[in-house]
């Protein structure tokens, strides 16, 4: 059985109108997601705007999410940081706070050599908390190929990969060449991933539509193609937005449309042009009212 199975939501961080972290709303968001059937929570990822937080804020966000989950679902903490020493400290904090695991990028500040990436994960591994290696070759300079993951999987605590390359063939190759579990990391492969063996999905749009996300993933894992395809096509225009650099603004606006506002994004992320919001509204209406044609 997979350790991190099902739909894990990479949760947004709510902010007040003055850009303070809204910890009360964060707790409410965790409760709402759990009540709607999600399998796990992933705070302090890029969708959670971790890079805009002070160390004190980031630590409190992690602690708040773990406290809110209260053992009902696992919490997998984003551990990205500019140096290996800092990343190790965030993994240790996650462990000390009661997290079930961490989502760990390779070194993020420059294009590291292979032995530097291996040494980075070796240092994280030594903390003793399960690791979901995060492959995001679009935004960072390392591609954790299946062959590379086979090397990392030799570390006892590297147990899974968040696969964000966008190439569905990677799922087959990772499963064939490693003993890692695969968690799809981009929303617009949320149907194809589980059909081809992914056991988890670290998701974005389900911040706003958790029930629909859980239903889709379960239908796909069960091989119910007709039902899964119908739901997937409704959600796909929104899912494409998860792969955009403006995903944080887009998903926070989706949450507003869903009746669960979580405040603004922190600069340098600013409000989107009105035309973009119009596209999100149209896609959201299409997702929740399937009889309307998509634009």
Question: Residue 3 catalytic?
Answer: no
Considering the candidates 140, 162, 232, 252, report the single residue annotated as catalytic: 162
Residue given tokens 């994960």 in the structure block: 121
Q: Tell me the C-alpha distance between 22 and 18, whole Å.
A: 10
Burial of 99 (0-12, 13-18, 19+ CB in 10 A): buried
- DSSP letter string over 213-237? HHHHHHHHHTT-HHHHHHHHHHHHH
Considering the candidates 134, 140, 232, 286, report the single residue annotated as catalytic: 134
Could you report how far apart the first and last alpha carbons of the chain are, in Å?
41
Other CB atoms within a 10 A radius of the CB of residue 267 amount to 8
Supply 19's token pair.
Answer: 């850009």
Question: Residue 134 catalytic?
Answer: yes
219-226: list long-range contacts, CB under 8 Å, 24+ apart.
220/190, 220/191, 220/192, 220/193, 220/194, 220/195, 221/194, 221/195, 223/195, 225/195
Residue given tokens 């949450």 in the structure block: 255
Strand partners, 257: none
Catalytic residues: 134, 162
């Amino acid at each position: 059985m997979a350790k991190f199975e099902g739909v894990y939501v990479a949760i947004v961080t709510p902010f007040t109108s003055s850009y303070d972290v809204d910890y009360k709303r964060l707790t409410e968001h965790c409760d709402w997601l759990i009540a709607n059937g999600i399998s796990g929570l992933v705070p302090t990822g890029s969708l959670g705007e971790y890079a805009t937080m002070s160390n004190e804020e980031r630590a409190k966000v992690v602690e708040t999410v773990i406290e809110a989950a209260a053992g009902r679902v696992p919490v997998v903490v984003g551990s990205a940081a500019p140096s290996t020493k800092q990343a190790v400290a965030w993994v240790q904090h996650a462990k000390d706070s009661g997290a079930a695991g961490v989502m760990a990028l390779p070194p993020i500040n420059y294009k590291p050599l292979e032995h530097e990436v291996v040494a980075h994960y070796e240092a994280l591994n030594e903390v003793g908390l399960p690791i979901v290696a995060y492959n995001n070759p679009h935004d960072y300079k390392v591609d954790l190929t299946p062959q590379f993951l086979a090397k990392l999987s030799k570390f006892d605590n590297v147990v899974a990969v968040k696969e964000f390359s966008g190439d569905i063939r990677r799922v087959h190759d990772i499963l064939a060449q490693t003993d890692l579990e695969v968690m799809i990391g981009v929303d617009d492969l949320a149907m194809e991933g589980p059909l081809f063996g992914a056991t988890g999905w670290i998701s974005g749009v389900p911040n706003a539509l958790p029930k629909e996300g859980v239903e889709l993933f379960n239908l796909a894992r069960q091989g119910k193609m007709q039902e899964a395809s119908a739901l997937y096509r409704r959600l796909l225009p929104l899912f494409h937005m998860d792969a955009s650099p403006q995903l944080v603004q887009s998903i926070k606006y989706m949450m507003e449309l869903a009746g669960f506002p979580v405040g603004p994004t922190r600069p340098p992320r600013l409000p989107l042009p009105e035309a973009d919001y119009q596209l999100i509204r149209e896609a959201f209406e299409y997702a929740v009212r399937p009889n309307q044609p998509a634009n």
